[in-house]
């Protein structure tokens, strides 16, 4: 997938995301994802392609009042919103990002 990258409310680039998973898959998951960076260091890691969404980082299903549930792990908080079908949980482990700054 791909998306837009904002820093302090200003569009600064785009990002391509690749998901690598191992094991059998049943069905598919379509969802939007919103990633918040706690500080400049976390944002800089993302821009350099060093953001590691390991099994330690978990996503919160976006819902009303979800910001109260935000927990930053390694400077990152992730919210997901299902686009099709019901999902109990989305795995964000194995995601790799490529940041492309605006010219």
β-pairing, 76-84 vs 59-61, is parallel
3-class secondary structure per residue, 37-62: ECCHHHHHHHHCCCCCECCCCCEEEC
The larger pLDDT score, comparing residue 71 to residue 55, is at 71
pTM of the model: 0.71
Query: 8-54: per-residue pLDDT in tens?
Result: 999 999 999 887 665 554 455 667 788 899 999 999 999 999 887 76
């Amino acid at each position: 997938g791909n998306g837009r990258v904002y820093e302090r409310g200003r569009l600064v680039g785009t990002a391509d995301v690749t998901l690598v998973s191992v094991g059998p898959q049943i069905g598919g998951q379509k969802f939007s994802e919103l990633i918040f960076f706690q500080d400049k260091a976390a944002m800089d890691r993302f821009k350099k392609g060093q953001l590691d969404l390991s099994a330690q980082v978990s996503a919160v299903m976006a819902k009303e009042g979800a910001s109260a549930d935000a927990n930053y792990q390694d400077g990152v908080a992730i919210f997901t919103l299902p686009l099709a079908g019901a999902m109990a949980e989305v795995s964000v482990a194995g995601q790799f990002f490529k940041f492309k700054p605006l010219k």
